[in-house]
Structure 1
């Protein structure tokens, strides 16, 4: 019996008014589902987010002001184009050399149009990612992932549209979706994204460990890296090529980092020696207090240790399932879960914490949601809550956070706990694949329900 037939049978036993009501409710539900799945609605939502941010920034831009990190980017651009002093080529820089492209490109038409060009480029990048998600969603007749992507872009728009991660996130979405059909393009996009911000390296590591396309991605990534390095060396910046690594050494605990939580609360309770301070060089808020010296000195090693453990766990799961599951069935799940685990560990155990770091996770979850909808509902809901709490902390109540308002500290703590839950979800999935999952027949996949033609 079909669903429509079931509704008809139930309706026939009710009074005529009741039967009419059931029919109207069913029709309304179908219409709402169709509305949410309509690509025109998704495109309209993405356009509305970008237009709204543009209109909010327009008065600032008319006054010669910019929001987010754009003033810093414009400063670097002005130094390069007018002063002849280029980041990486002439001095150490906090970003990898590839970040020069998105930072400097909006300045080609002049400083007055920097903000406008930046927003146009960000809109184009997000549009490409949305098109890729919609196209893949059509295979399942399910556009939940595309809708989720538009929703998170809207929630995180203060950082998504005004910081450099806004470029790397769409690149990772497209790169991961291309891994099966166009692995060379995937390798190029993931390597290029890593040369803009380091975090996509977590995705590359997961691909290398768990994907049958690893050698194509490795060779393409190496070629991309050689090309970037050659440009910097020929431009006289050989000594600054890896400066972005050293720029993070010895940094204190940033207030939004999960590792900083104990010292943030110590500062609120006025524990002797605990306090917030502003780092004028990096333009960040840091925290210090009793016992922080060890974490400042060793926090990075803790982070790498956790990530190394996750790589080992992913390798065990890959080795175990390789004898049981056809590669085209297993690798999607392992790459996705491994990438999410590594990227989340990169955030949870990092001394530095910024709101834009949530853009390290949303691309992976979006791809997981479009390739494996049943499995990725939980992290999708968790990350939506993380995105909302992140925006409440920054920029909504950021000055209250600096003032150590207890309610905002609770919001931040809740966000950080949810990040731990996301990490725990990833670790549980990997442990299940590595140690718990019994032998499965050839051709089935390690997690969730079969999905047609969406394997890598």
Structure 2
């Protein structure tokens, strides 16, 4: 009885904070209160509604440079239209709210289990509003919700978790990276097999139903260097010392054009491949005892941060991915992600300053914007270092005992994600 009351007390905090913060978010997105600057939500939702019309006509938006997603993302665009509300905009916002509610409910339920922590619910509850109203008006909320579900299922039902990761990968590729943390043996084979079957089956079905499913490849290929990306920071500084480039709109984002931009953009693609290859090499060298139930979120967050560092694009909604992965990771008491999660939350705050509050300063590369970009990038880089350090230690000398993913005997309440 006492334990039950303690659990109720632990869950009351994040649920109360979630209720207050989401009420404010709903007031923002539905226009009952407003920010001093435009949040860009109406523009994004208008684009989604245009895509909806194309899908309803029986095609993918081929030739639309703003469509840069795998085929499964069409479902995230189509599903809100099924909700019984007046407009597509309201339906989309309501769908995002429902995903948000499902995630916090799952994390609170998970936090009450033996060996788990309510910090995961706190990270999600705090992280989303730190990004302002933007998460409710972006497709990434749905993708992150699916990935959170995959992470919560993987430790006990690898097939279900793998299938969910596969579905998420048909919307944006990054959710499949969480499968790096599934241990060797039957569980690993089952998770990857189900992910492959789910992804291939869904893509084939959508490609058969709607022509143009693979047009997103060309849309991604020609993208440039977005002004918020890691690789763009030197160019922001260089503008103050005579660099002749400028920021222009292309592919639905502000990109740099000018000397050396293409060189840096291509270098980032190479670094992306090398970074992921290095992470896979580390993963293969990890001892079996490293793969606790927290390993998928631990390695998944490491992979996502590496991808963000080496991407030509860093849209603010990418932070939703990091918040979701950090939330699931910190729901394990032994994950070693508490410090990186705090850094991710701090980076969310600086991301909101960059967009939408001072976006014109970013476009114009003011010193205040340069400093804000540098601080946000530094926080994410520090979070990655805190994650990669125990990985390197474990790969070299065996599992670490503190400050990282701490292996310990597993109970029925905390099964290991291995076969």
Bin for the TM-score computed over the shorter chain: 0.7 to 0.9
Match of 1:409 among 370, 373, 377: 370
The Cα RMSD (Å) is 3.0
What secondary structure sits across from 1:278 in the alignment?
strand
1:261: how far off?
A: 0.8
Per-residue deviation, 1:270: 4.9
Distance 2:103 2:184 in 1: 24
Q: Taking structure 1 as reference, are residues 219 and 397 closer, same or farther at Cα in structure 2, changes over 3 Å only?
A: same
Partner Cα separation in structure 2 for residue 383 and residue 76 of structure 1? 32
- Tell me the residue number matched to 1:117: 91
The structural deviation recorded for 1:58 is 2.7
Secondary structure of the residue aligned to 1:95 is: coil
Superposition pairs for residues 81-160 of structure 1, below 5 Å? 81=56, 84=57, 86-87=59-60, 93-108=67-82, 112-140=86-114, 142-160=117-135
Deviation track 1:142-185 (CA, whole Å, cap 9, x = no partner) reads 42221221011111243321101111112211211111222222
Q: Does 1:176 align with 2:176?
A: no
Partner of 1:52: 24
Task: Tell me, in whole angstroms, the C-alpha distance in 2 between the residues paired with 1:428 and 1:49.
Answer: 34
Q: How big is the shift at 1:215? A: 1.4
Separation (CA, whole Å) in 1 of partners of 2:399 and 2:19: 47
Secondary structure (helix, strand or coil) at the match of 2:221 reads: coil
Equivalent residue for 2:283, pick from 314, 319, 322: 314
Matches within 5 A, 1:2-401: 37-59=9-31, 67=42, 69-81=44-56, 84=57, 86-87=59-60, 93-108=67-82, 112-140=86-114, 142-207=117-182, 213-235=187-209, 237=211, 240-267=212-239, 269-279=240-250, 282-317=251-286, 321-322=287-288, 325=289, 330-372=291-333, 375-401=336-362
Note if contact 2:399-2:406 (Cα within 8 Å) is conserved in structure 1: no
Show CA shifts across 1:303-347 (max 9, x none). Answer: 111111111011111xxx13xx3xxx6343543332121110100
**Closer/same/farther in 2, CA of residues 397 and 435 from structure 1, 3 Å limit:** same
In the TM superposition, what whole-angstrom CA distance separates every residue of 1:341-361 from its partner, at most 9, and x where no partner exists? 111010001111111111221
- For 2:25 and 2:336, the matched residues in 1 are separated by 33
Distance 1:351 1:372, change over 3 A: same
Shift of 1:431: 0.5
Report the TM-score when normalising by structure 1: 0.80
Which structure 2 segments of 5+ residues have no match? 1-5, 34-39
**CA distance in 2 between partners of 1:211 and 1:341 (Å):** 22
Q: Relative contact order: is structure 1 or structure 2 higher (C-alpha 8 Å, sep ≥ 6)?
A: 2
Match of 1:3 in 2: none
More divergent stretch after superposition (305-314 vs 180-189): 180-189
2:36 aligns with none
Q: Give the superposition deviation at 1:210.
A: 5.5
Give the Cα–Cα distance (whole angstroms) in 2 for the partners of residues 156 and 195 of structure 1. 25
What is the TM-score when the length of structure 2 is the normalising length?
Answer: 0.86
SS of corresponding position for 1:245: helix
Q: 2:137 is paired with a residue of what secondary structure?
A: coil
Quick one: structure 1 residues 173 and 111, their matched pair in 2 at CA, closer, same or farther if it must change by over 3 Å?
closer
The structure that has the greater radius of gyration is: 1
Gaps of 5+ in 1: 1-33
Larger displacement relative to structure 2 (100-109 or 187-196): 100-109
Conserved? CA contact 1:175–1:189, under 8 Å: yes
Aligned residues: 401
What's the secondary structure of 1:420's corresponding residue? helix
Whether the 8 Å contact between 1:256 and 1:353 is mirrored in structure 2 is yes
Deviations 1:363-383 (A, max 9, x none): 221111111357221111111
User: Does the Cα contact within 8 Å between 1:168 and 1:196 map onto a contact in 2?
Assistant: yes
